């Protein structure tokens, strides 16, 4: 029946070109939007799901408990994996990964650069995760110290078209690393998108972490694979607790009232659990509310397209009623006519879907550039996509066509042919009006949502964060804490006319997520059950004034404070002058800002003591998604990893940065000159929201 009606349907479409075009355009727009959003949601939901052992792979995360307050971290202590291999039998695989703080690669003296997403790991990583080896023996490579497994794109970046296996490069100015294997690039939907894998070594300078100390959990993760058919049980939990008790909780460096725990997180949960920061430094957790929101938007747009189809179809009821009258008069049954109308809807939806598929394929490269994703759309290679698309076409055709078919085929042929008009009793004006109201309601809701998101994005970008961020360049320094070189660089800054001011610090007031140090603080001491976790910025006397922090009470510390303390008191009894924000004053229980001035307190960092000289207005140390945090700014530049440079307004910025680059290379010839404008760094905190909004 359907195939017999095709010539008739096509002939009718050709006679009603405008209506047919409107139908196809409306359905194409709705299906395209729904299809692209569906591909985006599918991509996000597919993170790590392609791994063959995903259902029994778990990440071990760290929990620091301080007097009942929990702090969660995606990382685990470096020695944990080796201890698990000794203490916990029956696990199929155990592997650990470690992300170094920096990676400077030197291929030759003229080709030297910073390499991102370097990961150190062991051979078991290749057993836990599905890695396709293209050349060499990757397992053997990772068993030998100072060996590298490069991805395809990294190998091309390092050595061009040459065979990279057997070649060497210098890692972090100190270590000769040999390339032993090449692997396929990691897919975009992994939380571990490494550019290269380095083998482990006992050299702690090479690792940039301790191989035996359990106190630090930054920089890497531990993964385990359970045997098929098993789930984490009480025995595994007890064994992990035993390791923590022996190597962390019983140690003298562990503060009273604190203890460490280990949680077992399914691999499928990593990309969706913001509590552990998702995949860590490289891939943040996706907010699942965004996925629900976009899914709802896609469905709403498709509903609008279907309602538009229904309204256009029922608006033609008089024309179709005459046709129905003639067909019924020559013996056509109602359900036969319904099948015909549904066939028309199916043909229109199918044609619109084909156009939508073509548009989506052409648009995906631009959408991937905009969102930073690697979304693919291979219909014939993915049975799920093909089945979903065909099912969607059938459901859309049914949604769009069933009401017009049901209404129009109710017309009575005798009355229609006699009067030339549609019997009002055959239609439901309330339903048509309801559809129009629904269409306008959905459209208004989408417009209101768009306006609200736009206002939210404008708020995120232009909110006063409590400090000056304009014309400030933040430059990273080589690690090592060389104060003499920092002082020499500061002296050179004085000779550059375009520089208004500068400040060395562990971080700017807000430099993004996970850029700040943290420590414990108490007015009583180490054993205080009310000690607070505080964000800590170690810096010089220029920091508060250069970044324009608003002083509420007391004064900023000065260079004279540092000199006086260092000369008057022996080490261990010095009280570095410090500035705190109003949030910390309240957390510590002081009645007013003035009441906190002159108070001395204990800092967990090296067991120091410090003294409050000033209180500043609260400022955001992270993104606006986070609440204001209690913050401590103390005078100490040994650990300063960055220098903020305030550039004079009206200055030729490129020339000034070029001059800074020249001075930097003179003082730090081993370093890589890299900088960011602070305002651009802060805008990048909302990159994902801005991309999705765009």
Q: For the segment 404-421, what is each residue's pLDDT rounded down to a tens digit?
A: 666 666 656 555 555 555
Report which secondary-structure segment, H or E, holds 183: strand 175-183
Of 118, 87, 115, 452, residue with least CA distance to 238? 87
How many C-beta neighbours within 10 Å does residue 661 have? 14
Ranking 141-155, 349-363, 422-436, 661-675 by mean pLDDT, the lowest is 422-436
User: Is residue 578's pLDDT more than 50?
Assistant: yes
User: Is residue 567's pLDDT more than 50?
Assistant: no
Percentage of the chain lying above the pLDDT 70 cut:
84
188 compared with 9, residue with greater pLDDT? 188
Q: What's the DSSP call for residue 458? A: H
d(CA 116, CA 196): 9
CA dihedral 149, 151, 152, 154 (to 10 degrees): -100
Q: 520 pLDDT band (50/70/90 cuts)?
A: confident
DSSP helix/strand/coil, 60: strand
552 compared with 9, residue with greater pLDDT? 552
- Cα angle value 338/342/348 (rounded, 5°): 150
- Of the chain, the end-to-end C-alpha distance in Å amounts to 46
Query: What pLDDT score was predicted for residue 131?
Result: 95
Report which secondary-structure segment, H or E, holds 28: helix 17-45
User: Is residue 141's pLDDT more than 90?
Assistant: yes
Query: What pLDDT score was predicted for residue 426?
Result: 47
Contact 457, 686 (CB under 8 A): yes
What's the mean pLDDT in 347-366?
90
User: Which of 145-149, 230-234, 337-341, 370-374 has the highest mean predicted lDDT (pLDDT)?
Assistant: 145-149
Query: What pLDDT score was predicted for residue 320?
Result: 61
User: Is residue 687's pLDDT more than 80?
Assistant: no
User: Is residue 424's pLDDT more than 50?
Assistant: no
Query: What pLDDT score was predicted for residue 603?
Result: 79
Model confidence over 63-86: pLDDT tens digits?
Answer: 988 877 888 888 899 899 999 999
Query: What pLDDT score was predicted for residue 416?
Result: 52
User: Is residue 238's pLDDT more than 90?
Assistant: yes
User: Is residue 136's pLDDT more than 50?
Assistant: yes
Query: What pLDDT score was predicted for residue 480?
Result: 66
Percentage of the chain lying above the pLDDT 90 cut:
37
In this prediction the pTM is 0.83
Q: 425 pLDDT band (50/70/90 cuts)?
A: very low
Ranking 87-101, 224-238, 309-323 by mean pLDDT, the lowest is 309-323
Average pLDDT, the chain: 83
Ranking 221-230, 366-375, 393-402, 655-664 by mean pLDDT, the lowest is 393-402
Contact 483, 567 (CB under 8 A): no
Query: What pLDDT score was predicted for residue 452?
Result: 81
Contact 317, 427 (CB under 8 A): yes
Please name the residues in contact with 232: beta carbons below 8 A apart, sequence gap of 6 or more: 58, 226, 264
231 compared with 639, residue with greater pLDDT? 231
Query: What pLDDT score was predicted for residue 190?
Result: 92
Model confidence over 365-398: pLDDT tens digits?
Answer: 988 887 778 888 887 767 778 888 888 888 888 8
Please name the residues in contact with 406: beta carbons below 8 A apart, sequence gap of 6 or more: 338
Ranking 163-172, 310-319, 377-386, 443-452 by mean pLDDT, the lowest is 310-319
Report which secondary-structure segment, H or E, holds 108: strand 104-108
Q: Which two tokens stand for residue 8?
A: 């008739």
Contact 530, 595 (CB under 8 A): no
């Amino acid at each position: 029946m359907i195939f017999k009606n095709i010539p008739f349907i096509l002939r009718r479409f050709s006679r009603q070109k405008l209506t047919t075009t409107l139908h196809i355009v409306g359905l194409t727009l709705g299906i395209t939007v729904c299809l692209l959003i569906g591909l985006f949601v599918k991509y996000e939901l597919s993170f790590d799901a392609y791994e063959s052992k995903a259902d029994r792979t778990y990440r071990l995360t760290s929990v620091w408990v301080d007097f009942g307050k929990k702090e969660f971290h995606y990382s685990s202590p470096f020695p944990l994996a080796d201890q698990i291999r000794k203490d916990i039998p029956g696990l199929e695989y155990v592997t650990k990964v470690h992300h170094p703080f920096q990676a400077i690669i030197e291929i030759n003296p003229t080709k030297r650069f910073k390499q991102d997403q370097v990961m150190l790991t062991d051979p078991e990583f290749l057993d836990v995760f599905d890695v396709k080896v293209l050349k060499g023996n990757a397992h053997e490579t990772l068993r030998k110290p100072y060996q590298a497994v490069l991805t395809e794109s990294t190998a091309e970046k390092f050595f061009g078209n040459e065979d990279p296996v057997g070649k060497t490069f210098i890692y972090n100015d100190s270590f000769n690393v040999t390339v032993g294997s090449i692997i396929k690039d990691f897919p975009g939907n992994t939380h571990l998108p490494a550019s290269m894998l380095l083998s482990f070594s006992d050299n702690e300078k090479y690792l940039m972490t301790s191989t035996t100390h359990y106190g630090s959990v930054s920089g890497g993760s531990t993964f385990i694979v359970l045997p098929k058919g098993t789930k984490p049980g009480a025995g595994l939990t007890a064994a992990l607790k035993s390791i923590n008790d022996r190597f962390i909780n019983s140690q003298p460096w562990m503060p009273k009232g604190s203890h460490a725990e280990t949680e077992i997180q399914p691999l499928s949960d990593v990309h969706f659990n913001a509590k552990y920061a998702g995949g860590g430094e490289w891939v943040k957790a996706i907010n699942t509310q965004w996925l629900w929101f976009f899914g709802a938007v896609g469905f709403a747009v498709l509903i609008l397209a279907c309602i538009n189809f229904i309204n256009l179809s029922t608006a033609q009821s008089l024309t179709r009623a005459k046709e129905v009258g003639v067909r019924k008069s020559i013996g056509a049954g109602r359900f036969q006519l319904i099948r015909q109308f549904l066939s028309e809807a199916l043909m229109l939806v199918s044609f619109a879907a084909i156009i939508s598929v073509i548009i989506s394929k052409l648009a995906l490269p631009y959408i991937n550039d905009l969102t930073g994703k690697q979304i693919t759309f291979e219909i014939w290679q993915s049975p799920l996509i093909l089945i979903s698309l065909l099912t969607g076409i059938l459901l859309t055709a049914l949604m769009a066509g069933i009401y017009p078919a049901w209404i129009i085929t109710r017309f009575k042929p005798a009355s229609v042919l006699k009067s030339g008009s549609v019997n009002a009793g055959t239609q439901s004006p309330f339903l048509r009006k309801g559809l129009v109201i629904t269409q306008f309601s959905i459209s208004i809701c989408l417009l209101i949502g768009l306006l609200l998101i736009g206002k939210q994005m404008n708020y995120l970008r232009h909110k006063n964060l409590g400090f000056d961020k304009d014309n400030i360049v933040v430059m990273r320094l080589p690690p090592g804490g060389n104060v003499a070189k920092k002082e020499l660089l500061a002296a050179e800054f004085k000779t550059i006319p375009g520089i208004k001011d500068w400040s060395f610090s562990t971080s700017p007031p807000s430099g993004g997520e996970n850029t700040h140090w943290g420590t414990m603080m108490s007015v009583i001491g180490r054993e205080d059950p009310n000690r607070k976790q505080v964000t800590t910025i170690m810096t010089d006397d220029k920091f508060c004034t250069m970044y324009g922090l608003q002083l509420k009470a007391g004064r900023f510390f000065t260079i004279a404070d540092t000199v006086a303390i260092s000369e008057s008191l022996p080490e261990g009894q010095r009280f570095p002058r410090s500035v705190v924000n109003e949030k910390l004053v309240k957390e510590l229980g002081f009645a007013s800002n003035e009441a906190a001035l002159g108070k001395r307190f204990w800092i967990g960092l090296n067991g120091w003591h410090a003294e409050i000289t000033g209180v500043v207005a609260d400022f955001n140390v992270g993104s606006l998604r986070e609440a204001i945090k209690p913050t401590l700014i103390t005078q100490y530049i040994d650990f300063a990893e960055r220098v903020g440079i305030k550039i004079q307004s009206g200055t030729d910025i490129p020339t000034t940065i070029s001059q800074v680059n020249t001075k930097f290379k003179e003082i730090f010839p081993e370093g890589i000159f890299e900088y960011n404008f602070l305002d651009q760094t802060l805008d990048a905190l909302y990159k994902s929201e801005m991309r999705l909004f765009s």
